[in-house]
Amino acid sequence: MKIIRWGLSLVFLANGLTAFFAPQEFRELLEASFVSHWLPLSVSAFLIIIGINDLLLALLILFNKYQKYILVWAMLWLIGVMIVTQDIIGVLEHLGFFSMALALWVSAYTNFAAQK
């Protein structure tokens, strides 16, 4: 499970860094999405939120902190990404990351339940 945790952490790290250092990819995706009309702030401001969110997820997943809750947030975030993407290849890619988060959550939850 440790390798899966590291891998998922690296995915979020890469996306967080992309949001800050190469935001055009995310900007184009968001601007083309129906979600851009619902954002209560500008796309540029939302890119900062994406970057912070993904970097925090990367660190918390990597250092195995609050796994029961963080992995649920990661799965919800990935579902949101799949909804925004609306591209079968992108959805399949993020479904793989979702599966990694789900496997880690099941492992964390069963370990947590076993400790009680």
Stated pTM of the model: 0.89
pLDDT at 111 over 90: no
- Whether the CB-CB separation of 35 and 97 falls below 8 Å is answered with no
Closest by CA position to 84, among listed 11, 6, 31: 31
Show me where the domains of the chain are located. Answer: 2-115
Give the whole-angstrom CA distance, residue 41 versus residue 13.
24
Alpha helical stretches, state H, 33-87: 43-62, 67-85
pLDDT, tens digit (0-9, with 9 covering 90-100), for 5-63: 999 999 999 999 999 999 998 999 998 888 888 888 999 999 999 999 999 999 999 99
